Structure formats: C-alpha cells, structure tokens
C-alpha cells in the first residue's frame, strides 16, 4: 500500500468538499479501494499505485472544473469519475458562444455587445490589441476576463495589470500608509473585476505567488514580460515615452491589451497623450489590432449613454460650447 497527499491549495475547500463534506463523501464512495481523509486544503489517500494514479488524475480534473467554471456539483463528479470531461449545464446560457469566462457564484462573464465580441475575436488572433472608447463600454472588464481565461486555460503563466497613477482632476495630496496602500486607489477597478472572476482564496494565492500582479505603470520599466497576459488600463493618461516603454516590455508567448478613453485625459495640457500618438503610428503593423467602442456599447446605467452623447455634441460644436462656458462664468 502507498500513501500520497493531494493538494487543493488555491481552491475554496467548501467549493471542493461541499457542505458537510457532501461532495467529498461522494468522492470516497466513487473510489472504494482507496482510504482517504481530508486535511484542510489537502487529501491524504492510501491505496495501490495504480488506483492512486487514477485518483490523482480525477482530482486534478475536478480542480480544473472549479477553476474554469467556478463550480463543482455531484453530477460533475460522477461524470469525471466515469469519463474525463464533465457535461456542463448550458441550458441557462443560450449565448454560450459569447461566454469569456465563468466567474464566482455562477457568474457568467460574456461579451455583451458587438464591439466587445470584436475585442474577444481580435485578441484571439493578435498579440496586441488597443480597445478605445468612452466610459462604461466594458473595455477593462472584458480585457480582465480575457486575461483570466488565458490563465485558466494555461496559455499564459501570469497576468500583469497596470495603470498610470495619474490623479483624475483632483489633488489627492498626501496619502497615508505604505506604498501598496498609496497606489491601491488607482488600481481598484482592476481588483473589482478580478473579484468577480476568481474566488477570494484563489485570488489571494495568485497575488501572493505573483501569478497575478497589479502595479502602477512605473513599475514596468526595465522588465521583459514572457508568457504573460498584460493589460494596460487608462492608457490615455500615459505620455508617449511611457506608452513606448510599456509596449516594448512584451516578451515571448505574451499578449497585450491596451484600453483607453481619449475623452478623459488627465495629463497636464502641455503633455500629449501617448494613446493618441500610438493610434496614429501603430495602426498598420501586423499583429496589432484596434477596436473602437462607442456609446452603443455602454453597459452601465442607461443614462451613461445619453451623458456621453451630450458631451460628444459639446465637442463637435466648439462655438456653442464657448457660449455655454461664457454664460457659466457670469453665474
């Protein structure tokens, strides 16, 4: 008899073992020739070498089921034990072709608009993608979902998410705390997207082991990023030298998505946005794709679409805007 320990570290034990060990008891019944006991985030198993090898393979498939689809039920376990691929319940997911990744608590993250679907397609066929459009069009969320999918499918070894730490029109002054606490407010939207797609314990494990890195753009200097999915968010707030620095970090077997909104540039007026320069000089390079999202892709509150249109009209009619601003000065 041989004894082994199988780790499920990074998986929420409740997702794997079930309430009151209901799923673990089913696993035990499915392998009657193996003696096993759960110990926190691991399983100790005793049996013949042949039985234990099969057991390890099936447990690995169950872990993959949770990592990819965010759930493991009794039917999945039974199908994995009998076969290799569990049959998924897609009856509630009529638009399965648009699914990017399965998140937490049964959340299905999908491309919800035509241009988001274009983002997915272009990212699959190009190593570098620029997704440009106004607020609320799902640029960042879709990009994070694509990164998480690549990690779950093991096509990359790590995810790197970055933003330029530029104040959005406010002087935040001195921020208390250590370096992480100072920069986290700038990176909060990236954390929020990840929270939807990766269980808390798994996300903590990834962060602690640098499988997922979230850092300000300045931290990218001097690095070569291999086997990674790299996302630069809010790229309209990069200067041209900063964006050039970032784009030249890409290493072998890596993908890059750059997102930005040219209407929300927070740089000083004397500095030109690097995103504006990049869209002009990189547009004809093979392997680099540009996707333009519009107010029709807005997936936030219905008012956001109307707000964007109102500001667009202001930009399209500068003389009318000048009159409005003069009237405001007199108030």
> How far apart are the C-alpha atoms of 71 and 306, rounded to whole Å?
38
pTM of the shown model: 0.72
Bridging pattern class, strands 99-102 and 212-216: unpaired
Q: Tokens 């970090």 identify what position? A: 249
What is the pLDDT confidence band of residue 93, given thresholds at 50, 70 and 90?
very low
Per-residue pLDDT of 121-171, as tens digits, reads 999 999 999 999 998 899 999 999 999 999 988 899 999 999 887 654 444
pLDDT for position 153:
86
Query: What confidence category does residue 70 fall into, taking pLDDT thresholds of 50, 70 and 90?
Result: confident
Average pLDDT in the 40-51 region? 92
pLDDT at 188: 82
Please, which residues bridge with residue 37 across strands? Answer: 44
Residue 212 bridge partners (DSSP):
159
Architecture, CATH, for domain 96-300: 3-Layer(aba) Sandwich (3.40)
**Domain chopping of the chain, boundaries:** 2-82, 96-300
In this prediction, residue 171 carries a pLDDT of 46
- Confirm whether 2-82 and 96-300 share one CATH topology: no
Structure tokens at 162: 């970055």
Per-residue pLDDT, averaged over 5-14, amounts to 84
Report, in angstroms and rounded to the nearest whole number, the Rg of the chain calculated over CA atoms. 24
pLDDT in tens, 218-252: 888 888 899 999 999 999 999 999 999 999 999 99
pLDDT of 86 reads 54
Distance in angstroms (rounded) separating the CA atoms of residues 154 and 158: 9
Residue in the structure block whose two tokens are 């509150």? 301
**Cα–Cα distances in angstroms (integers) from residue 154 to residues 99, 196, 253, in the given order:** 18, 19, 12
Work out the angle at residue 271's Cα, subtended by the Cα atoms of residues 184 and 214, and round it to the nearest 5 degrees.
20
Q: Angle 139-152/114-125 helices, nearest 10 degrees?
A: 40
Mean pLDDT for the chain overall: 84
Which CATH architecture group holds 2-82? 2-Layer Sandwich (3.30)
What are 95-115's pLDDT values in tens digits?
Answer: 456 889 888 877 889 998 999
CA distances from 253 to 16, 88, 141, 268, 275 (A): 32, 30, 22, 36, 24
Give the residue from 215, 208, 212 showing the smallest Cα distance to 229: 212
């Amino acid at each position: 008899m041989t004894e082994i320990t199988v780790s499920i570290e990074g998986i929420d034990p409740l997702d794997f073992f079930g309430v009151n060990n209901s799923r673990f008891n089913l696993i035990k019944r499915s392998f009657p020739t193996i003696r096993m006991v759960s110990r926190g985030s691991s399983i100790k198993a005793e049996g013949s070498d042949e039985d234990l090898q099969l057991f390890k393979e099936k447990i690995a498939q169950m872990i993959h089921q949770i990592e990819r689809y965010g759930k493991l039920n009794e039917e999945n376990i039974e199908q994995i034990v009998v076969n290799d691929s569990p049959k998924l319940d897609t009856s509630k997911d009529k638009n399965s072709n648009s699914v990017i990744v399965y998140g937490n608590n049964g959340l299905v993250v999908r491309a919800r608009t035509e241009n988001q679907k274009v983002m997915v397609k272009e990212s699959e066929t190009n190593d570098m993608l620029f997704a440009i459009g106004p607020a609320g069009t799902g640029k960042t969320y879709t990009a994070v979902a694509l990164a998480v999918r690549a990690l779950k499918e093991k096509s990359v070894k790590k995810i790197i998410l970055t933003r330029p730490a530029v104040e959005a029109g406010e002087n935040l002054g001195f921020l208390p705390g250590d370096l992480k606490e100072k920069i986290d407010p700038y990176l909060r939207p990236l954390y929020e997207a990840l929270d939807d797609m990766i269980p808390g314990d798994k996300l903590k494990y990834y962060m602690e082991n640098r499988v997922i890195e979230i850092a300000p753009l300045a931290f990218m200097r001097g690095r070569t990023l291999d086997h990674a999915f790299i996302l630069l968010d809010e790229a309209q707030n990069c200067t041209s030298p900063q964006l050039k620095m970032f784009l030249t970090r890409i290493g072998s077997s890596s993908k890059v998505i750059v997102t930005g909104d040219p209407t929300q540039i927070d740089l000083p007026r004397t500095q030109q946005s690097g995103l504006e320069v990049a869209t002009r000089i990189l547009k004809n390079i093979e392997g680099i794709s540009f996707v333009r999202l519009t107010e029709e892709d807005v997936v936030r509150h219905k008012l956001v679409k109307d707000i964007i249109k109102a500001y667009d009209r202001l930009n399209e009619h500068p003389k009318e805007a000048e009159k409005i601003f003069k009237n405001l000065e007199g108030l």
